[in-house]
Amino acid sequence: MTTVKKARKYKPLLSLDFDGVLHWYRNGWKGARYIDDEPVPGAVEFVREASQYFRIVVYSSRSSQPGGIEAMQAWMEKYGFPEVKFANDKPKAFLTIDDRAIQFNGTWFDPQELLKFKPWNKPADEED
């Protein structure tokens, strides 16, 4: 028996954050147009593979700032990412990947516990 993977006609929207997800972002914020780190290891390959199953959109706090989208676009081109879309407003996504988010599952959080959150790429003792 031959298994043929049917190509989906409709690809759901996958929204990707930029800093801390695509851009390694080890040097912190220096302005919407200033992007000075490398891609997170595996990011290019992930976006390439995910593009087969999803429409990819990049949405960042840079998106609404002058030159932000152009800077992200140029940076992604430089590092060989496949072509993606950029959203100006929060996209109506099937799923979002963000380094500073937590999945809400119907049970509310303890706000004081939320204060302990640390992004994956920041040392535990570093303030940001």
Give the tokens for residue 30.
């220096």
Shortest Cβ 60–Mg ion spacing (Å) = 7
Q: SS3 of 55, please?
A: strand
Q: Which is nearer to Mg ion, 13 or 98 (CB)?
A: 98
Shortest Cβ 77–Mg ion spacing (Å) = 20
Binding mask 78-117 for Mg ion (x = CB under 5 A): ---------------------x------------------
Residue 43 interacts with Mg ion (CB under 5 A)? no
Put residue 17 in one of left, alpha, beta given phi > 0 → left and psi -120 to 50 → alpha. beta
Q: Considering only residues 2-21, where is the footprint of Mg ion by CB under 5 A?
A: 17, 19-20
CA distance 119 to 128: 10
CA distance 15 to 57: 5
